[in-house]
Structure 1
Amino acid sequence: LGVRQLIVGVNKMDSSEPPYSEARYEEIKKEVSSYIKKIGYNPATVAFVPISGWHGDNMLEPSTNMPWFKGWKVERKEGNAEGKTLIDALDAILPPSRPTEKPLRLPLQDVYKIGGIGTVPVGRVETGILKPGMVVTFAPANITTEVKSVEMHHE
């Protein structure tokens, strides 16, 4: 699937025995770390965050219910990151680079014929760049046309 970055939210920490148990968090972290290592990820690049979605612990603000949790750290060649909450981990995700140097690939989702405007193909640019004025060919029909305009959803 091309997933390069992971965050593990250890949820329901309020339901552990005893509630907010550091031992239970460490047990889950160890088990999940060994699994993600088996499938090819480096656990040092994964943020593990103990949370309680029901109570909001460590979601947006550091929780007072888990004083033992000092925060998460991830190591990566683009620069290390650290934080205390799930939102911090989400904010630390690096956006993937778009393959703009590759040839244009735009799988069509639909085609609309709009009076006064013309034929409007709808899809998502997966690779390459699409600009007004470009001449493009649609396969397999081998129809060549000029791009008059490009719009993003509701923009």
Structure 2
Amino acid sequence: TYTKTYIIPLARKAEVVFTEVQYTTSGSSVIIRGQLVNVGDYDAKYLTVYAQALGEGLTVENPTTYLGTLAAGEGTSFLIYASAERIGKYGLKLSAKYYGPDMEWHETTEEISIEIAGIVEEKEKITPIKYEEILPIIIGLPVVTLIIGFIMGRYTRWKSA
């Protein structure tokens, strides 16, 4: 009998990667939506996403987002809120830190570029409606109602006679 023994090293690890990062702008507000996937074969524990603005003019409102444990083969999504001071291009560094089975902290990073095309003024001045503009409507509506009522009354009397 001939036997052969093969030793296959099994290294269990957690490996978290950014799969999709998108941003949307509305005036000076920026919403960054991202997805993380654990492509490893072990759970990634204490998964936290950190956001840091690269340069001036972009303020991150929630720089830390705790996501918890991400099981092997699973994915999760996160939202980051930011605001820009002016029109222009900004850089944002996203990093995901997690605790692996090797009892060490691991980190994966991704940088994205954000472009703000236009910023709308926060408060537009609202002008009140002038009384002279609405006066014809106030007078005209009851007069028109009276005329229609008079015509309908005459028509129904004529029809019944």
TM-score (normalizing by structure 1): 0.24
Give 1 or 2 for the bigger CA radius of gyration. 2
The answer to which structure has the higher strand fraction is 2
With the length of structure 2 as denominator, give the TM-score of the two structures.
0.23
